[in-house]
Amino acid sequence: MNSFAAAQVPIAAYLILAAALFSVGVAAFLIKRNLITIFMSIELMLNAVNLTFVAFAHMWHQVSGQIFVFFVMVVAAAEAAVGLAIIIAIFRTRQTLNVDQIDLMKS
């Protein structure tokens, strides 16, 4: 094996990748106007946080971090089911997915 094959990656690199994914998720959450895309950027943020959990679990040599990720996945699945049902209900009444036109309280 050469030195490249044995090279290790600092945990900080994983964390920075997670930070990058998280901030892209935040930006997408703020900028996107489509309800479904906004929902997807929430999923992206959850995934970024999961990566930090796994990286820390690796660092501390414990599985607790991985169990956290497991629960986050389960809750994300439940959240996606309810969220998408709400989106379908909104689309039925408003015929649009643009968040600027779904300010129900004002109209």
Partner 1 sequence: MQLALFLIFGGLAAAGAINLLLQRHPINSALSLVVVMMSLAVLYWSLGAEFLAASQVIVYSGAIMVFFVFVIMLLNAGEEERTHGSRAAYIVGFPGAAAIFCLLSFVFLSERHALGSSNIGGYLNHVTSNIAEISTLLFTKLLLPFEVTSILILVAILGAVVLARKEQ
Interacting residues with partner 1 between 29 and 48 (CB under 8 A):
30-34, 36-37, 39-41, 43-44, 47
Whole-number minimum distance, CB 49 to partner 1, in Å?
11
Residue 9 phi/psi, 5-degree rounding, is -110, 130
What is the x/- site pattern for partner 1, positions 58-77, by CB under 8 A? xx-x-xx-xx-xxx-xxxxx
Smallest separation (angstroms) from partner 1 to the CB of 53: 9
Minimum gap (Å) between residue 51 Cβ and partner 1:
6
Please give the structure tokens belonging to residue 96.
């649009």
User: In degrees rounded to 5, what are phi and psi of residue 15?
Assistant: -65, -40
The 10 Å CB-count burial string (b at 16+, else e) for 73-83 is eeebeeeeeeb
Considering only 5, 104, 106, 107, the residue that binds partner 1 (CB under 8 A) is 5
